[in-house]
Amino acid sequence: MSLPIYVIGHKHPDTDAICSSLALTALKEAQGVHAVAGRIGHLSPETAFILDKVGVEPPLYMNTAKCALSEIEIDEAVRVHPEDTIRSAWDVCLEHNVKTLYVVSDDDEYLGVCTINDISKIQMQDVSITKDLLKDTPLTNIVRALKGQFIYEGNLARSGYVRISDKRLNERNLEGAIMVLDDHEDDMFKSIVRGCAVVVCTQNYRPSDYIIEIAKQKGATLIQTPYNIMKVIQMIYRSIPVSFIMTPKEKIISFSQSEFVEQVESEMLKTRHSNYPVLFQNHLVGSVARYHLLKSEKKKFILVDHNEVKQSIDDIETAEIVEIVDHHRIGDIETSRPISFRNMIIGSTCSIVTMMYREANIRMSDKVALLCAYGMISDTLNFHSPTTTPIDLDLKAYLEKEYGLHFDEMAKELFENTATIKGKEFKNLLYNDTKEYILSGHRIDISQVFTYNLDDVDSIEEDFKAFMEQENKKRHYDLLMMVFTNVEGNGSRFICVGDLAHDVAPAVARFADQQFVSRKKQIVPSLAQVLL
């Protein structure tokens, strides 16, 4: 199983993160790379509006970079049913060249495990053990194992002992015995009269009507088989059902397909089994062994719109990063080998992706062009943000000319439908678009939302600050900052809580006076200088 490369944005994804992951995924696919767009978090109302408008599905939701069993190559689980004979189970082992069989019900519910060693042991067991198994073995199993047929099916209880005609036959207790006889009908008569439960007639011998009638009167079963006496003695014990010798599921370590490879590997070290069942809702989906884990691949990621561990998917250190496309400061992501790292001073990651299409001489689909345009509009506040560069404006002109897009109309519709804080839950406002930073050793989280009317902040400011203080009791940031920004680039309002809130208050007041709107280009760099 070859895993795709996941193209994924940052936690609490904004529109640029989502749109750039979708657009870059489409580019990779056009270049012959198996790629899947991913996201770490829920869509903001703005992003949801855009995806609905464009008509594309959201990226795949992901919460960890770890590999689950469902994402690695495992063996097909070879199945048998509980009523199958151990002879047929043996044949299945040989046919599939496996040593472990999984016992399942008719609706594929996992019941237990039967190994080739379990089957082999039956041939070596003492008669006192095998007779107890054989006495409860269904008659149909015995007939199948002997490749025979019923002449008459009786109802006598069996003892489990298998007898043949010998000099001591008259001395033996035949009550409930399975008699294996040739064509001597006097032995058949004596055996039936003395209470044997089953007579196996070898070499396809069919008894006379008289013997059949006696068997019916006594309730004895008559079975006809092509095998000779020695072959019957050898094969009859192979009629025992798999369910009689299997190890029930309660005594076998099994794994859910959602369990992570590292977790499974740790559990395997505690046991010495060669194979383990893999389940989904108690239904068998495969069989896993240590070598599957050893040869499993790490997940591969292309990071867009971020390059810091705190902002990336959980457990990113367990994965392989193969590429980064970003327009933020360079953070602390580490890789095990050289990669393509495209980091530019530009207004949005969607701008970079648009450039990559042009450089590859690959035409965007109309939907991808719309995604990139909306990503630019959102991240640059329709090119009013100080992060906007001449390259962004050139790309805007390119998309307008080549794809007939009207940015101002798109921006007006987008902001009118999404840029408001009225009626929104505090939790959604705080966690809509949030990024965590480490500045001079301090844990800082900065959330940002956009609104047409900054005056709307007045009515919620006091209650919202109290909400932030409660949230920070759980999150323990040195500084938790909320930024309400005007969508037309006309400044921001700030609310801060945490141990550093008082210390940075004068600087934050300057941010408001100077109409800061960009978290990346204005707020974070200025805050970093204050905290030096």
Identify the DSSP state of 37: E
CATH number at residue 41: 3.90.1640.10
The predicted pLDDT at position 234 comes to: 87
Tell me the backbone φ, ψ of residue 524, rounded to 5 degrees: -65, -50
- Model confidence band, residue 472 (pLDDT cutoffs 50, 70, 90): very high
Identity at 125, one-letter amino acid code: Q
Which of helix, strand or coil describes residue 287? strand
For 227-281, how does the pLDDT look when each residue is reduced to its tens digit (9 = 90+)? 999 999 989 988 999 999 999 999 989 999 999 999 999 989 888 788 899 999 8
% of the chain beyond a pLDDT of 90: 80
**Residue 132 belongs to some domain of the structure:** no
The predicted pLDDT at position 127 comes to: 67
Which of helix, strand or coil describes residue 193? helix
**Residue 406 belongs to some domain of the structure:** yes
Pairing of β 283-288 and β 320-326: unpaired
Same-domain status, 248 and 286: yes
- Model confidence band, residue 126 (pLDDT cutoffs 50, 70, 90): low
**Residue 149 belongs to some domain of the structure:** yes
CATH number at residue 142: 3.40.1390.20
Q: Which residue has tokens 């709107």?
A: 517
> Worst-scoring range by mean pLDDT, 34-38, 47-51, 296-300?
296-300
What does the mean pLDDT of the chain come to?
A: 93
For 362-410, how does the pLDDT look when each residue is reduced to its tens digit (9 = 90+)? 999 999 999 999 999 999 999 999 999 999 999 999 999 999 999 999 9
> Worst-scoring range by mean pLDDT, 25-29, 43-47, 272-276, 309-313?
272-276
**Residue 410 belongs to some domain of the structure:** yes
Q: Does the pLDDT at position 154 exceed 70? A: yes
Same-domain status, 117 and 261: yes
Same-domain status, 252 and 235: no
Same-domain status, 333 and 410: yes
**Residue 142 and residue 125 in contact, taking contact as beta carbons nearer than 8 Å:** no
Closest CA to 369 of 56, 61, 5, 46: 56
For 222-234, how does the pLDDT look when each residue is reduced to its tens digit (9 = 90+)? 999 999 999 999 8
**Residue 411 and residue 375 in contact, taking contact as beta carbons nearer than 8 Å:** no
For 477-492, how does the pLDDT look when each residue is reduced to its tens digit (9 = 90+)? 999 999 999 988 889 9
**Residue 314 belongs to some domain of the structure:** yes
Closest CA to 54 of 291, 403, 352, 337: 403
Same-domain status, 512 and 438: yes
- Model confidence band, residue 169 (pLDDT cutoffs 50, 70, 90): confident
- Model confidence band, residue 326 (pLDDT cutoffs 50, 70, 90): very high
The predicted pLDDT at position 122 comes to: 80
Same-domain status, 47 and 154: no
**Residue 186 belongs to some domain of the structure:** yes
The predicted pLDDT at position 171 comes to: 78
This prediction has a pTM of 0.74
Q: Does the pLDDT at position 123 exceed 80? A: no
For 485-524, how does the pLDDT look when each residue is reduced to its tens digit (9 = 90+)? 998 888 999 999 999 999 999 999 999 999 999 998 899 9
Last residue of a domain, one of 252, 279, 294: 294
Same-domain status, 436 and 503: yes
Same-domain status, 518 and 375: no
The predicted pLDDT at position 160 comes to: 85
Pairwise CA distance, residues 419 & 29, whole Å: 33
Same-domain status, 506 and 432: yes
CATH number at residue 467: 3.10.310.20
**Residue 133 belongs to some domain of the structure:** no
Same-domain status, 472 and 526: yes
**Residue 267 belongs to some domain of the structure:** yes
The angle subtended at Cα 411 by Cα 409 and Cα 416, nearest 5°, is 100
Q: In the structure encoding, which two tokens stand for residue 117, read together?
A: 């060693």
Q: Does the pLDDT at position 139 exceed 70? A: yes
Pairwise CA distance, residues 418 & 140, whole Å: 71
Average pLDDT of the residues in 70-97: 93
% of the chain beyond a pLDDT of 70: 99
Tell me the backbone φ, ψ of residue 61, rounded to 5 degrees: -75, 130
Last residue of a domain, one of 390, 418, 446: 418
Q: Does the pLDDT at position 84 exceed 90? A: yes
Task: Say which residues have a Cβ less than 8 Å from residue 355's Cβ, sequence separation at least 6.
Answer: 391, 395
For 420-470, how does the pLDDT look when each residue is reduced to its tens digit (9 = 90+)? 898 889 999 999 889 999 999 999 999 999 998 899 999 999 999 999 999
The predicted pLDDT at position 1 comes to: 59
Number of domains in the chain: 4
Same-domain status, 302 and 410: yes
Which residue segment(s) compose the domain that 342 sits in? 5-67+298-418
Same-domain status, 363 and 337: yes
